[in-house]
Structure 1
Amino acid sequence: MTRSAYEIASTGADDLYTALDYFNNIHAIFVVMLKAFPEDSTAHAFAQLGIAEINDRSMTVLQWAECMVDELGDLAEGAPGALLVASPVSEVGHE
């Protein structure tokens, strides 16, 4: 199977949005941990650290995904019939 660079890049952008969905799920787990464990516990501290880290990583991935979609959009304008399908992603919330 032969795919164009555009198709490969489009798949990559979609994969980045999928990764953001996974980050949202991980963020939710850390929020549950924050609510379940006392503030002076190690688990609570790990949850705070996890939220900070996942928020940072999700913003990086979101920026890359948006950049790729913008670039692919520019390419699509010059390629009749080319279609980029990228689902909107909610940003990982900040607690």
Structure 2
Amino acid sequence: MTLEQQLIERLNSLTPTHLEVINESAGHGGYFPGKESHFKVIIVSEIFTGLRLVQRHQKVYAEAADLLSPGKIHALAIHAYIPSEWKGDAPASPECAHAPKA
């Protein structure tokens, strides 16, 4: 099972109404086909109701803890919303200074 699939499986425990896990590894230094190191997560769940942003991130990190280790996920961008906040889009990720040059 890929890291992406494992991350999706773990985050489904937060009962999301919307979940996107995007592998952004290709935009970072050292990329090679099949590399899984940088991910962006967009998650919408009632479970975040009443929580500050840092608490929402802590919940996501707790579910993904074993995947955030050397040789696995290096970077995880988290966009966590409750349903009333979700407008259908999340901020774009910044470009990496070490991204492969075209």
TM-score, structure 2 normalization: 0.27
**Structure with greater strand percent:** 2
Larger of the two Rg values belongs to structure: 1
Point out the structure with the larger helix share.
Answer: 1
What is the TM-score of this pair, normalised by structure 1?
0.29
Highest relative contact order (Cα 8 Å, sep 6+), 1 or 2? 1
